[in-house]
Amino acid sequence: MTLLFRKLGYNNVRNVIHKHNDAQVLVVACRKLSVVPSVYDGEQDPAPKFFSSNVQVLLKRLTRPDVNKVFRKRTNSGLPVLKTPMYKFLTNEELEAEIVKANETAERLLQMPPVVKDPALVGYDSATFLFTDITFGVDNQHRIIVQRSTRHFGPLAFYLTWHHSIDNLMLELLQSGAVREAVLLTALRHAVHDDILPTPVQLTKPEQLTEEDITLDKKCEECIEKYIVSNSAMKSQQELALQGFREHYQQLVELSRGLQKAHGQL
């Protein structure tokens, strides 16, 4: 007796067994897949967009380099490993020179694999390969964090942008409070698809919260709000995440202004 499994896109359907011609059809309730794998097919080549200077800058900033992760000690056998850290006494000038050298090394280690349309690989294999992380108990939003600060995060962000699938990444950025990186993501989409009106803002990470930073973050919130209204496919989730960021950020603003007032700076 043959069992035929059919997946339906319903969340709350009871399992039903139908008998027909000595065959059983088991209808299983399950959730519809939220991500459909895509490839860089079609006539358009992604390479010119990927290698443009503006897109490269955006991808590198979205990667969010973390020196602790880049220079972590690797113990993989058979692979080149980083040497054990050395501790030295340095002057300020020597320290600045070492920091510059470390940043250059980190940039080299985070060099992104190129995203190109390679016709030489067409017909190489008749099988279809899909590489995915199936770690149990990890949702899609937290899988993104694993690749951050690695050389593969930039191509991932470009892939999601190319296929109009940045909403989950946008939601993760809003939920983690990285509203400026969310603006960078909208700028990346505009650079790739030219379908979002850009808002020129200088995005820098502040050492402390100033009135200029507060004004800049307000502009970033407005940019993200416009994106959610006009382009997002996850409006309710992203609006809720943005509202949560606003409430948390308002508390930071009140705390910062209170400290400045206590020190006589206001």
Residue with tokens 């065959």: 23
Q: Interhelix angle for 179-193 vs 153-162, to 10°? A: 60
For residues 63 and 55, what is the distance between their CA atoms, to the nearest angstrom? 12
Distant-in-sequence, close-in-space partners of 128: CB < 8 Å, separation ≥ 6: none
Range of the domain at 128: 47-72+94-262
Q: Are strands 16-20 and 2-9 parallel, antiparallel or unpaired?
A: unpaired
Average pLDDT over residues 203-217: 67
Q: What percent of the chain has pLDDT over 90?
A: 20
pLDDT band for position 22 (50/70/90)? very low
Token pair listed for 92: 């300020």
Query: Is 135 domain-assigned?
Result: yes
- Which of 43, 61, 85, 22 lies closest to 187 in space, CA to CA? 61
Which burial class, exposed, middle or buried, applies to 45 when counting CB atoms under 10 A from its CB (0-12, 13-18, 19+)?
middle
Query: Is 236 domain-assigned?
Result: yes
219 and 154 inside one domain: yes
163 and 252 inside one domain: yes
141 and 192 inside one domain: yes
> Over the range 75-106, which residues count as b (16 or more CB within 10 Å of their CB) and which as e?
eeeeeeeeeeeeeeeeeeeeeeeeeeeeeeeb
SS3 call for 106: helix
Query: Is 38 domain-assigned?
Result: no
Query: Is 85 domain-assigned?
Result: no
Residues β-bridged to residue 24: 3, 19
Query: Is 77 domain-assigned?
Result: no
178 and 65 inside one domain: yes
Query: Is 89 domain-assigned?
Result: no
Residue with tokens 């694993």: 146
User: Residue 265 pLDDT more than 90?
Assistant: no
For residue 30, the model assigns a pLDDT of 36
110 and 6 inside one domain: no
Q: What does residue 61 show for φ and ψ, rounded to 5 degrees?
A: -75, -35
28 and 59 inside one domain: no
17 and 136 inside one domain: no
Q: What percent of the chain has pLDDT over 70?
A: 71
For residue 26, the model assigns a pLDDT of 36
User: Residue 24 pLDDT more than 50?
Assistant: no
Highest mean pLDDT among 27-41, 80-94, 117-131, 148-162: 148-162
CB atoms within 10 A of CB 64: 12
Query: Is 78 domain-assigned?
Result: no
18 and 109 inside one domain: no
211 and 110 inside one domain: yes
pTM above 0.85, yes or no: no
Which helix (H) or strand (E) covers residue 255, if one does? Answer: helix 235-262
113 and 14 inside one domain: no
101 and 214 inside one domain: yes
Q: What is the mean pLDDT of the chain?
A: 75
Number of domains in the chain: 2
pLDDT band for position 80 (50/70/90)? low
For residues 156 and 148, what is the distance between their CA atoms, to the nearest angstrom? 10
Are the C-beta atoms of residues 187 and 59 closer than 8 Å to each other? no
Query: Is 105 domain-assigned?
Result: yes
5 and 59 inside one domain: no
